[in-house]
Chains A and B, each alone.
Chain A
Amino acid sequence: MIKVAGLDDVAAAIADAIEAKQHLAVRGMGTKAALGRDTSYDAILDVSGLSGIVDYQPDELILTVRGGTPMHEVEAVLAKANQMLAFEVPDLHKLLNSNSAGTIGGVLATNASGPRRLTAGAARDYLLGFDAISGRGERFKSGGKVMKNVTGYDLSKLICGSYGTLAVFDEVTLKTLPKPETNISLLFACDDSDAAVARIAAIFASPHEPNAAAILPRAIAAKAGIDISATMVAVIRLEGIDVSVADRAAHLLASFERGLEIDNDASTSLWQAIRDVELLEDVAGDIWKLSCAPASAPSIIAALSDQFDLAYFADWAGGLLWLAGPSGGEFGAALRAALAANGSGYAQLIRDQGNSKAVIAPFQPLPAAHYALHKRVKAAFDPMSVLNFGRMHDGI
């Protein structure tokens, strides 16, 4: 374990690894270690010491913080100013068998984004700039501390979701937003997933600004304490100022049948259960996440339900499916086949109960030309494959 306190330490550790031809595993609080491929490494680079709030200016909507800062610290600072990270950081520690939501660096490295991602954007849309040490052991910065910025390549987008394979974060500057005054949710009883997707689409075609939408099959809804008689429940969240939320809810309930409202407390706890995939926690087997075009979700579910005893629910208006199924390679292969037959997207293994990653790639395999480009991009930042080598794909 190489514990670093500053960027000079990181640079030195990487330089040593380059010389010794070693691979390092980059770890903040280790909460996401279960994601991705199993890799062999020579040492762990512990970056939890790169921690601390550097600069917070609520009126400027920016927060600069070091990558190893725990999320609970970040959230505490934001809460005091009544602000938030709009992409809604999930806490998947129970799925990943760890003990917290981890560090901000880990959140950015995995592009971890919750229900509001549908309308507000993902983590990658909120990283304004950062400085880091590349896998070459060299310090570099990108972006800035302002939102309107097109100076140079947008490396913030590239580094988010790169699972630590390109560079080690030090300071990151995030865009913050004011917290909404309140939220409530509407539950609509639907006869099947097609009806649920259509209901959600119709609500999004209204001027009432829903910000999140989920689809819960009856059994899953029951786990969330929802007791309405319906095969499928479409959940719509409304946020904003009190009078506006009440007005929009009234309009939607008047325009669409079989709906009811749940209050702020119930809505908040329901969406937290959706965000953190608590609704599948006690289901046996692996858990996969699948990103697809929302309107394709019903066909994908139908194709899979034929083959498997499926426990699932959808977030992002149907565009994010969380599915529990048997360990091994068959389930993931079937997900990817269903996806391929129904447009674009990807499927990623999240909870691996039976060492499934030994037989199936946890990340969606890349077509040859994409893989080659990924390799070249990796080489641009980490030519000696020091950082999290093989974590996402074999050879990258």
Chain B
Amino acid sequence: MQMPEPDQAVLDRRADICRDLRNLVAADCVIDSIEGRRAYDADGLSAYRQLPLAVVLPETVEQIAAVMKYCHGEGIKVVPRGSGTSLSGGALPLADAVLIGLGKFNRILDIDYANRCVVAQPGVTNLAITHAVQADGFYYAPDPSSQIACSVGGNVAENSGGVHCLKYGLTTNNLLGIELVTIEGEILRLGGKHLDAGDYDLMGVMTGSEGLLGIVSEVTLRILQKPATQRALLVGFDDTGSAAKAVGDVIGAGIIPAGMEMMDGLAINAAEDFVNAGYPRAAAALLIIELDGPEVEVNTLIDRVAKVMDDAGASSLKISNSEEERNLFWAGRKSAFPAVGRISPDYLCMDGTIPRRRLPDMMVRMSSLSQKYGLRVANVFHAGDGNLHPLILFDANQPGELQRAEDFGADILRACVEMGGVLTGEHGVGVEKRDLMGIQFTEDDMKQQQRLKCAFDADHLLNPGKVFPHLHRCAELGRLHVHKGKMPFPELPRF
């Protein structure tokens, strides 16, 4: 993975920089030793590791601002880090970058039921938000699988989703306000307990910006009343085509479940071997459909969904009649990744999105790619919104298998875009998919996005080497095409 060339001048000044940083935060909040920095050398994309120049763990927003301002003044790169659970390398350090960790920002500041929101520091975990309000019957809806560990600041940076975003949306649809620190050390508040931006939706563009535009120092999140009833269906199909069609039929019937997940034969059997949830082993595809909401609504709709499944040719169907049963239906799906980890020394978890109706085509393509690369693939999908998580099985100890797995993954993402979808549904681009961006966007598309970056970070100090494959200097991006041989206002500076 090619990362930007480290600035030798910065590397040479490492000791001085650490000393300067110790003037800005408590001395023990600067981690300098190799052993200390090693704990931060990778995120969830653990195949890639890099010791950062130094790790800083600020405790107040003023300290974040001071460190950012210092780095900006000195031309030192910055890599922000929440919990380091990113699966795309969003928090992968650079050798010449200061890594700013938000782990000490771990307090919930305000639980406001009257306004149905929670104000929290960015290092609070996603699940901790729900835990803080669940005794009063509330919860925070976006539920990425890593929610016991991932931070809400990281959720904003990645615009995290989860199983239930089919009905409840992603982080961006549940975020009311943020405080952010710019690379120049400015502290800005966007949004709040009120709705809508009233001017440019900068909070909307910060969400999913993968640490490239600013550091989130506080979040205001919408909380919802827990649904009265949750029930699930576990449905087996003899072929993935029928399962995929059944998913579309549910939507076509005017029903939006809380979640619709699909697993293929390999994933089903790996899960059964691991947790024994009672999945139909012979099924080519398994759907787990969850409905939530008021009791009468769920009980009525579950029968309608069951009928849709029957009409679609389901080979088996179970409906949960208790919380235990519902949780058991989910047990296999929730353990899918570790289950697959049992049947293979290593796996690559991919993330792409396709239009739902192309699922059968994608399964055919995956099958042929699996043969092409000689590697197995187990499939777990957020079928309701077409977000795939193919798990490519390989053995890193076998020469060339990691490369083949990555090539397989890249071909899957190419297929996603070819079928009308996108490279990443929820894991982010990071470094993992950076070099594939050209499959989905033209140079002009990417240049326009980078011009936005110039408005926030003209010196390209925040999280360089992520998301965009080619760096264009802001001065170059600001140049307008010469029209009819004349450049308008040639004497005016443009960024």
A161 to B170, CA, bound (A): 20
- Residue among B114, B138, B454 with most chain A CB within 10 A: B114
- Asked if A100 is at the interface of the complex by the 8 Å CB criterion, the answer is no
Whether B195 and A291, one on each chain, are in contact in the complex, defined by CB atoms closer than 8 angstroms, is yes
Question: Given A138-B448, A157-B204, A244-B297, are A121 and B423 neighbors across the interface (CB < 8 Å)?
Answer: no
- Asked if A259 is at the interface of the complex by the 8 Å CB criterion, the answer is no
A377 to B293, CA, bound (A): 41
> Chain A residue with minimal CB distance to B428?
A150
- Residue among A122, A139, A158 with most chain B CB within 10 A: A158
Partner of B228, one of A21, A207, A383: A207
**Chain A residues with CB under 8 A of B296:** 243-244, 247-248
Whether B193 and A344, one on each chain, are in contact in the complex, defined by CB atoms closer than 8 angstroms, is yes
Whether A161 and B197, one on each chain, are in contact in the complex, defined by CB atoms closer than 8 angstroms, is yes
A207 to B441, CA, bound (A): 43
The digit string for A275-319, where 1 denotes a CB below 8 A from any CB of B, is: 000000000000000011111100000000000000000001001
A235 to B325, CA, bound (A): 38
Which applies to chain A's interface (DSSP): helix, strand, loop or mixed? mixed
**Chain A residues with CB under 8 A of B193:** 293, 296, 343-344
Whether A157 and B201, one on each chain, are in contact in the complex, defined by CB atoms closer than 8 angstroms, is yes
A152 to B495, CA, bound (A): 21
- Asked if B188 is at the interface of the complex by the 8 Å CB criterion, the answer is yes
**Chain A residues with CB under 8 A of B208:** 150, 153-154
Partner of A148, one of B165, B489, B494: B165
Question: Given A151-B424, A291-B196, are A19 and B484 neighbors across the interface (CB < 8 Å)?
Answer: yes
Whether B113 and A201, one on each chain, are in contact in the complex, defined by CB atoms closer than 8 angstroms, is yes
A150 to B301, CA, bound (A): 31
**Chain B residues with CB under 8 A of A383:** 478, 480, 494
A293 to B176, CA, bound (A): 10
The digit string for B373-416, where 1 denotes a CB below 8 A from any CB of A, is: 00000000010011100000000000000000000000000000
- Asked if A224 is at the interface of the complex by the 8 Å CB criterion, the answer is no
The digit string for A314-341, where 1 denotes a CB below 8 A from any CB of B, is: 0010011000000000000000000000
Whether B192 and A141, one on each chain, are in contact in the complex, defined by CB atoms closer than 8 angstroms, is no
A157 to B172, CA, bound (A): 9
B213 shortest CB reach to chain A, Å: 8
- Asked if A384 is at the interface of the complex by the 8 Å CB criterion, the answer is yes
Whether B294 and A209, one on each chain, are in contact in the complex, defined by CB atoms closer than 8 angstroms, is yes
Question: Given A19-B483, A144-B422, A383-B480, are A124 and B204 neighbors across the interface (CB < 8 Å)?
Answer: yes
- Asked if B490 is at the interface of the complex by the 8 Å CB criterion, the answer is no
A353 to B294, CA, bound (A): 46
Partner of B252, one of A58, A141, A150: A58
Q: How many residues of B contact A (CB 8 A)?
A: 106
Partner of A15, one of B209, B424, B483: B483
**Chain A residues with CB under 8 A of B53:** none
Give the size range of A's interface with the partner.
35 or more
Question: Given A379-B455, A381-B451, are A293 and B194 neighbors across the interface (CB < 8 Å)?
Answer: yes
**Chain A residues with CB under 8 A of B455:** 373, 376-377, 379-380
Whether A377 and B425, one on each chain, are in contact in the complex, defined by CB atoms closer than 8 angstroms, is no
**Chain A residues with CB under 8 A of B204:** 124, 154, 156-158, 160
Contact residues of B between 229 and 276, Cβ < 8 Å to A: 248-249, 251-252, 254-256
Contact residues of A between 244 and 266, Cβ < 8 Å to B: 244, 247-248
- Asked if A204 is at the interface of the complex by the 8 Å CB criterion, the answer is yes
- Asked if A390 is at the interface of the complex by the 8 Å CB criterion, the answer is no
Whether A316 and B195, one on each chain, are in contact in the complex, defined by CB atoms closer than 8 angstroms, is yes
Contact residues of B between 349 and 386, Cβ < 8 Å to A: 353-357, 382, 385-386
Whether B205 and A155, one on each chain, are in contact in the complex, defined by CB atoms closer than 8 angstroms, is yes
A206 to B477, CA, bound (A): 52
- Asked if B217 is at the interface of the complex by the 8 Å CB criterion, the answer is no
A209 to B258, CA, bound (A): 14
**Chain A residues with CB under 8 A of B251:** 58-61, 178
Whether B198 and A178, one on each chain, are in contact in the complex, defined by CB atoms closer than 8 angstroms, is no
- Asked if B2 is at the interface of the complex by the 8 Å CB criterion, the answer is no
- Asked if B100 is at the interface of the complex by the 8 Å CB criterion, the answer is no
A52 shortest CB reach to chain B, Å: 20
A138 to B483, CA, bound (A): 12
The digit string for A134-150, where 1 denotes a CB below 8 A from any CB of B, is: 10111111101111111
A360 to B112, CA, bound (A): 33
B379 shortest CB reach to chain A, Å: 16
- Asked if B467 is at the interface of the complex by the 8 Å CB criterion, the answer is yes
Whether A21 and B488, one on each chain, are in contact in the complex, defined by CB atoms closer than 8 angstroms, is yes
**Chain A residues with CB under 8 A of B428:** 150
Question: Given A145-B420, A207-B228, A383-B494, are A158 and B188 neighbors across the interface (CB < 8 Å)?
Answer: no
Partner of B445, one of A141, A209, A348: A141
- Asked if B332 is at the interface of the complex by the 8 Å CB criterion, the answer is no
Question: Given A291-B198, A343-B194, are A146 and B225 neighbors across the interface (CB < 8 Å)?
Answer: no
A285 shortest CB reach to chain B, Å: 22
Whether A134 and B169, one on each chain, are in contact in the complex, defined by CB atoms closer than 8 angstroms, is no
- Asked if B312 is at the interface of the complex by the 8 Å CB criterion, the answer is no
- Asked if B20 is at the interface of the complex by the 8 Å CB criterion, the answer is no
- Residue among A82, A121, A244 with most chain B CB within 10 A: A244
Contact residues of B between 116 and 164, Cβ < 8 Å to A: 116, 136-138, 158-159, 161
A167 shortest CB reach to chain B, Å: 9
Whether B115 and A294, one on each chain, are in contact in the complex, defined by CB atoms closer than 8 angstroms, is yes
Whether B297 and A241, one on each chain, are in contact in the complex, defined by CB atoms closer than 8 angstroms, is yes
Q: Which of A2-10, A185-193, A363-371 contacts B (4 or more CB under 8 A)?
A: A363-371
- Asked if B49 is at the interface of the complex by the 8 Å CB criterion, the answer is no
- Asked if A354 is at the interface of the complex by the 8 Å CB criterion, the answer is no
A285 to B495, CA, bound (A): 44
A148 to B259, CA, bound (A): 13
**Chain A residues with CB under 8 A of B248:** 59-60
Contact residues of A between 150 and 182, Cβ < 8 Å to B: 150-158, 160-162, 177-179, 181
- Residue among B116, B159, B256 with most chain A CB within 10 A: B116
Whether A146 and B227, one on each chain, are in contact in the complex, defined by CB atoms closer than 8 angstroms, is no
A165 to B231, CA, bound (A): 47
- Residue among A21, A60, A118, A149 with most chain B CB within 10 A: A149
Whether A152 and B429, one on each chain, are in contact in the complex, defined by CB atoms closer than 8 angstroms, is yes
**Chain A residues with CB under 8 A of B136:** 205
- Residue among A19, A197, A364 with most chain B CB within 10 A: A19
Contact residues of B between 285 and 304, Cβ < 8 Å to A: 293-297, 300-301
Partner of B353, one of A148, A156, A392: A148
Partner of B177, one of A19, A58, A247, A344: A344
Whether A158 and B161, one on each chain, are in contact in the complex, defined by CB atoms closer than 8 angstroms, is no
A135 shortest CB reach to chain B, Å: 10
**Chain B residues with CB under 8 A of A88:** none
Given contacts A319-B194, A379-B494, 9 further A-B contacts (CB under 8 A): A19-B488, A59-B248, A61-B251, A140-B444, A148-B425, A158-B202, A204-B225, A293-B115, A373-B188
Listed in ascending order, the chain B residues whose CB lies under 8 Å from chain A are 112-116, 136-138, 158-159, 161, 165-166, 169-170, 172-173, 177, 182, 186, 188-189, 191-205, 207-209, 213, 225-228, 248-249, 251-252, 254-256, 293-297, 300-301, 353-357, 382, 385-387, 420-429, 433, 437, 440-442, 444-449, 451-456, 467, 478, 480-481, 483-484, 486, 488-489, 494-495
Q: List 8 A-B contacts (CB under 8 A).
A: A21-B488, A111-B201, A138-B481, A150-B427, A155-B448, A156-B204, A294-B115, A343-B192
Q: Which 10 A-B pairs have the closest CB atoms?
A: A157-B204, A344-B192, A346-B198, A148-B425, A207-B228, A244-B297, A293-B193, A178-B254, A376-B455, A380-B451
